[in-house]
Amino acid sequence: MLFALQELVRWLGLTVFEMLVHLIALLVFTIFLALRLDDIAFTSTSPGSYDVWIVFSPLFVADVLCTYFNVIVLIRLYIEGHVKEAIARTVWSSAMLFVWSLFKVLLCRRLAGLSNLDYSEIMSPIFLILQLIAIRACQLH
């Protein structure tokens, strides 16, 4: 099912700016992934290689930018006196960013040959975040 932008903002608790950052990062990531799959660049599969991390780097950069943006929003909301709203927003955004980043780190380590984790263990942060998103969906009016 598809949603209007404002509906997504309400459901996922992401701002439009954060969505834009994630979309641009996703675009760059898919370009890097295509280069890797086509054996043009970032092709190394040896355990010590950083190539997998480079492919995933746009997604990590997006996470860092979103964290910086959230800190600024937290400070501004606190200064304006919306303490409760600031705390709720920061807790939600931090949880989302942490769990999403954890999934990417686990996946990168697996793809780089640094760990032998099962895919069910790698996907567990995603399932955790899906539970949180389901709770948020139930709170929508």
- In angstroms, the CA 97 to CA 15 distance is 13
If binding is defined by CB under 8 A, does position 45 make contact with another protein? no
Q: Which of 84/118 has CB closer to another protein? A: 118
| CA pair distance 126, 37, nearest whole angstrom | 24
**Rg of the chain in Å (alpha carbons):** 17
Taking the least distance from each CB to another protein, the nearer of 20 and 87 is 20
> What is the Cα–Cα distance from 76 to 132, expressed in whole angstroms?
26
137 binds another protein (CB under 8 A): yes
| CA atoms of 47 and 64, how far apart (whole Å) | 25
Question: Does the protein bind another protein through residue 41 (CB under 8 A)?
Answer: no
Residues near another protein (CB under 8 A) are: 1-5, 7, 10-11, 16-17, 19-20, 23-24, 26-27, 30-31, 33-34, 37-38, 118-120, 123, 126-127, 130, 133-134, 137-138, 140-141
